Structure 1
């Protein structure tokens, strides 16, 4: 009996230790712009690695061994396929590895919560951490909406298009809405439990009202629609009800939501504006363009996809005339996964997700709810399920899984929603199997440490690259022109970046850019800096020949060296890769303008540039210069 108590206590300590690391990671990543910046991801990656190492140690050394959910193991083939896809298919592997790490963190977090944090108390605390983050996020959203519209975390300033919408600790209002979608139903059901006291009803009702108000402040139409659909589907999925009751409750929910929507529309000018934009434009403007491009990329390679992280680069193949945005992702995580990883990757991931959801729903419906604890667990699990469904619907119009904080929160809520496995007498593991399990755990820990060290270096390199590029962009936006000291500092940061991560092709491209700019700061050394820029540009192209920017950097470097024909071939390659991108035509026109015999060709190129982007001020200046005859 004493040994059993000791084992239980030791097991509990493992759980609380894992909870501490996961809670710290959720708080850090969420409050640092959702983990969007590479500087944040250095810490996030280290915490995630430490958490998984601790989890492996717990699996090996906690006694007695507990039965495992196998849902996380079912996702391992997907991760293996992602690695193969990046190695064999992706044209931009340095971007693919970042995407692979985001998937890995999400799946690892799901595994830790599913099999490492099992007891009721730490699971309640974990959900409490998420709820606390939600309250802090809404408070930040209120500050943005009513006090300082341009305020963002980490000294950043909100972009103009989001100034009148709350984004909380994130940079995007839809990201705050996604976090609240996960939490609002789970909080609301606690207020309506039969066993809840008056105090509990008031407390949870107040928290639910705060989350609902925060969701309203985001002015996220997709989130509102996702929550409404999930709430209507919820009664239809309650197996113990007769269909007549399910339909009646679904209709009642629909009517209630319609009334709430009508009141919000009348009371809030922001809601009226957002709904009015939807009606005026006949739907979305930019998202259908991104979705069509993603679908066309999927059709190009339906089985394997175009490769992890490739969407933004290969979007140039399908960029329509006049579309000047840099999309990054498809604004639809399902389509983005299909585009990058094809039917194989899509099936390996979403097939498992659908299977786990189906099994969890059936098991929850069959669980014993005669006890108060059983009823409460069923209600909270159902609330989490509704939130996950609303989040899943919202994924159809956004890229929440590309935001690390949201991916971690989703994985946590998904694992909390899976019904637990009850220990059985056969769960005791024999000594030989225990030795084997410990050996496997140690191998996993070593592999995790090696992977995390590599990813941390990759994130550090990207952080240096971002810092250097932003410093250069600030010089040009301020119209001060390139500054010699600033360029040297940026060059040093980029050289450190490529030393840390030689596979980061974008860092090599930016290094080529800075070296080319040195010709303006150090007159008379154009050929020397041109040669240095060419070396960096060719390193970028060696990593990926499908990025038009890399060919532009090579063309500029070759022009500095006086190799006109080779430079023209590089610019024409960039033009072929991105025929509808205005900047490509601008650089091509600049190249042609260096030869007086190519003046008419340069004018045609700059005319195409301005037809694609009439607001291109550099193109206007070049056309004016070309129209002044010597």
Structure 2
């Protein structure tokens, strides 16, 4: 089971951190299978006596149940909410597996060694990206222009790699300066720490640097009981942190470009916009939130003029959780994390009092390193979305379990009858979840996202042949909605591909419009708050010629996304077909140009309307 868990972590991390739905098809299946194997082993491998339940496993359960309720009853786009809940559930299962199974020294080192090896592999990739090919990414992808010059390792985003480094680097540093560690192990820790610091610099992640620095400042206060040593240690930490930032600023051009805006008091432009939108969303439903995975669905209603990015999350997991789940959900989420850190600190103090020094994994400094890593991870969540990246949340679940699992105060005997009943219920739920919920949802999203990516790539670069690309994409969209009929985006993309099929294969435009209208209606049934779905229906009605409700669909889309330039151009193109609406068409096109002067085809549409006028 432990080897399988290690391979699952490696697979998920190396495949762009599990960002792609195709990766999560296998990860979800592996986590479900490992849970079944771990549960059977927990029952069969401990003799006839009572089984031991680690109560720390119950800490995330209140938030998990609350998130499930939000997914079922509040979420505006249930298919997005379910995928988010699947990730929370998988992290909880991995947390429970590490708490209850593979407690031996060899199994623990297998998990820790896997994480360390992954970071080392990522460091090699980061060096390749920095010094050989800045556009290289895993799985044949090309790095986004905004991240060129920064290293992301096996992830798509440099900040995600910095988050993984922040989890493990404190352990290396604490053990390096520990007197109980043997010289050979210290050399290994020093080598690892230098490589990880090198990789952290290559990421250019200011949030990662600051979060790690703040977490390490807590080291003297957690690592000693003498107040004088705490004060002097804190001052020394401040000096070292300031010196490190000074060296980066002086000798690294890339780091200087990243640090100078902070030194000048200038924040980056995009994050404050995303945070302001999230804050406005939360104020409209402060107690229960707007529903799981609602941020991206509702963002268009709060998009400011001139902002063109397409955010999936708020770039602040604390705010994102507050927006989606309200004060109640945030209290359960943050409170669960705080309890885990608190119990980890108590376990560290207990190990220090008892003087456990025979085994490094039982030593209090080992727990101190894990605690500092989790603190850095938690601080970094204030500017990023690590809990939405599968590899990062699974790695954090493993580290959290290693921190608290040896605390004897949280182990309780469980009667065999209760253990069998509870385990049967859990394993039945896991099998049902894996086979009928998670894997089909990920499989459908994989088909949808790859097909849509091929269409968007053709629109952007002209790569491929439209007469072959559209029929293949349409077939994938049909397969996706058959696998997971709840995926509203797949229905919308099916409507889009159906209309585009006329350009590829010809046919009766009115008939195609009727089929596209049915698909768009299915999308709107899943979520009527997404402007794109209304546009898909409007286009489907447009090509049927003379449907009176067409304009109302366009207007509804513009109500939901008033500052998205693309929908204004769609509306202008619709209006310019009517001789008595040329002025309105020109006004809509000009509105789109004021929102995005560089929108592809915008000026050509404006000139076309003027010529016809």
TM-score (norm 1): 0.93
Q: Distance in 2 between matches of 1:504 and 1:419?
A: 38
CA contact (8 A) 1:482 1:520 kept: no
Partner secondary structure for residue 193 of structure 1: coil
Partner secondary structure for residue 536 of structure 1: helix
RMSD: 1.9
Quote the offset at 1:279 in angstroms.
4.4
CA contact (8 A) 1:469 1:510 kept: yes
Residue of structure 2 in register with 1:485 after alignment: 468
Residue of structure 2 in register with 1:114 after alignment: 99
CA contact (8 A) 2:568 2:588 kept: yes
Residue of structure 1 in register with 2:179 after alignment: 194
Quote the offset at 1:312 in angstroms.
0.6
Residue of structure 2 in register with 1:314 after alignment: 298
CA contact (8 A) 1:42 1:459 kept: yes
* Structure 2, unpaired ranges of 5+: none
Quote the offset at 1:442 in angstroms.
2.1
Q: Distance in 2 between matches of 1:554 and 1:141?
A: 44
Q: Distance in 1 between matches of 2:412 and 2:303?
A: 56
Q: Distance in 2 between matches of 1:117 and 1:462?
A: 33
Residue of structure 2 in register with 1:494 after alignment: 477
- 1:545 maps to which of 528, 534, 557: 528
Q: Note if 1:38 corresponds to 2:21.
A: yes
1:68-217 to structure 2, matched below 5 A, reads 68-217=53-202
CA contact (8 A) 2:35 2:93 kept: yes
Deviations 1:177-224 (A, max 9, x none): 000000101112222221222222111101110001000100111110
Partner secondary structure for residue 628 of structure 1: helix
Quote the offset at 1:350 in angstroms.
1.6
Q: Note if 1:581 corresponds to 2:557.
A: no
Residue of structure 2 in register with 1:220 after alignment: 205
CA contact (8 A) 2:6 2:110 kept: no
CA contact (8 A) 2:51 2:416 kept: no
CA contact (8 A) 2:348 2:365 kept: no
Moved more, 193-202 or 606-615: 193-202
Q: Distance in 2 between matches of 1:223 and 1:428?
A: 41
Q: Distance in 2 between matches of 1:103 and 1:233?
A: 29
CA contact (8 A) 1:530 1:560 kept: yes
CA contact (8 A) 2:447 2:477 kept: yes
Partner secondary structure for residue 237 of structure 1: helix
CA contact (8 A) 2:99 2:405 kept: no
Q: Distance in 1 between matches of 2:507 and 2:52?
A: 72
Q: Distance in 2 between matches of 1:389 and 1:397?
A: 14
Number of aligned residue pairs: give it: 608
- 1:345 maps to which of 315, 321, 329: 329
Quote the offset at 1:236 in angstroms.
2.1
Partner secondary structure for residue 373 of structure 1: coil
Quote the offset at 1:563 in angstroms.
3.5
Partner secondary structure for residue 321 of structure 1: coil
Residue of structure 2 in register with 1:611 after alignment: 594
- 1:437 maps to which of 415, 419, 423: 419
Residue of structure 2 in register with 1:276 after alignment: 260
Residue of structure 1 in register with 2:237 after alignment: 253
Distance 1:207 1:162, change over 3 A: same
Residue of structure 1 in register with 2:380 after alignment: 394
Deviations 1:473-529 (A, max 9, x none): 122223479722221111111100000000000000000001111222344511000
Partner secondary structure for residue 67 of structure 1: strand
Q: Distance in 2 between matches of 1:75 and 1:524?
A: 55
Quote the offset at 1:372 in angstroms.
1.9
Moved more, 441-450 or 167-176: 441-450
Q: Distance in 2 between matches of 1:101 and 1:380?
A: 31
Quote the offset at 1:361 in angstroms.
1.1
* Structure 1, unpaired ranges of 5+: 1-16
CA contact (8 A) 1:472 1:482 kept: no
Moved more, 33-42 or 260-269: 260-269
Q: Distance in 2 between matches of 1:436 and 1:563?
A: 66
Distance 1:587 1:115, change over 3 A: same
Q: Note if 1:627 corresponds to 2:610.
A: yes
Q: Note if 1:290 corresponds to 2:264.
A: no
CA contact (8 A) 1:66 1:423 kept: no
Q: Note if 1:267 corresponds to 2:233.
A: no
Moved more, 288-297 or 274-283: 274-283
Q: Distance in 1 between matches of 2:514 and 2:257?
A: 54
Quote the offset at 1:606 in angstroms.
0.9
TM-score (norm 2): 0.96
CA contact (8 A) 2:53 2:412 kept: no
Distance 1:154 1:321, change over 3 A: same
Residue of structure 2 in register with 1:416 after alignment: 402
Residue of structure 2 in register with 1:474 after alignment: 457
Moved more, 363-372 or 589-598: 363-372
CA contact (8 A) 2:16 2:138 kept: yes
Moved more, 176-185 or 68-77: 68-77
CA contact (8 A) 1:585 1:608 kept: yes
1:372-383 to structure 2, matched below 5 A, reads 372-373=357-358, 377-383=363-369
Q: Distance in 1 between matches of 2:75 and 2:365?
A: 44
Residue of structure 1 in register with 2:429 after alignment: 447
Moved more, 537-546 or 297-306: 297-306
CA contact (8 A) 2:355 2:363 kept: no
Quote the offset at 1:603 in angstroms.
0.8
Moved more, 191-200 or 175-184: 191-200
Quote the offset at 1:612 in angstroms.
0.8
Q: Distance in 1 between matches of 2:125 and 2:462?
A: 34
Residue of structure 2 in register with 1:10 after alignment: none
- 2:33 maps to which of 50, 70, 87: 50
